[in-house]
Amino acid sequence: MTTTFKRILVGVDDSADALLAFDYAIHQAMKDDAELIIVSVLENDDMNIYQALSSDYIHGERGDLEKHVQKYRQQAVDAGVAKVRAMIAEGEPGETIVKDVIPHVEPDLLVIGSLAKKGVSRHFGSQAAYMAKYAPISVMVVR
């Protein structure tokens, strides 16, 4: 028996493994004729206190991220995925995706990379492990 997914959520953050996860999600969405939802998370802890207090800075960062995630959306459309949505969330990526994004979009598969863009200290362990452990749906971790 093979599982067919109807709605696939993929997290993107520009790390090499997130790009692999994105490619995997595109192929899976095309294979299953599934809707693809692309999410990127604006991490507030990346900002210093002055940036965090400046609504102009936050709107600028969010605007840049929204433009960026639309490029991912266009890439999926160009690859042949019929139904594609892109969204921005804010907070700690693992927790935000599990507690906010998944209940909101109701996907049946989450595709994520195994590393976060923070470098060596965040190898598989923090964000990806959190999502794999707590997501109420199937999780594909791509390396």
DSSP for 59-84, written as a single string: HHHHHHHHHHHHHHHHHHHHHT-SSE
Q: What is the pLDDT of residue 127?
A: 85
pLDDT band at 2 (very low <50, low <70, confident <90, very high): confident
Q: What is the pLDDT of residue 122?
A: 45
pLDDT band at 73 (very low <50, low <70, confident <90, very high): very high
Is the pLDDT at 112 greater than 80? The verdict is yes
**Is the Cβ–Cβ distance between 39 and 73 less than 8 Å?**
no
Q: Please, which residues have CB within 8 angstroms of residue 20's CB and are 6 or more apart in sequence?
A: 113, 142, 143
Q: What is the pLDDT of residue 134?
A: 96
Q: What is the pLDDT of residue 55?
A: 62
Q: What is the pLDDT of residue 85?
A: 97
Type of residue numbered 138: S
User: For the whole prediction, is pTM greater than 0.95?
Assistant: no
**Which domains does the chain carry?**
7-142 (3.40.50.620)
Token pair in block for residue 106: 């109701």
How many whole angstroms separate alpha carbon 3 and alpha carbon 45? 38
Q: Please, which residues have CB within 8 angstroms of residue 46's CB and are 6 or more apart in sequence?
A: none
Stretch (H or E) spanning 44: none
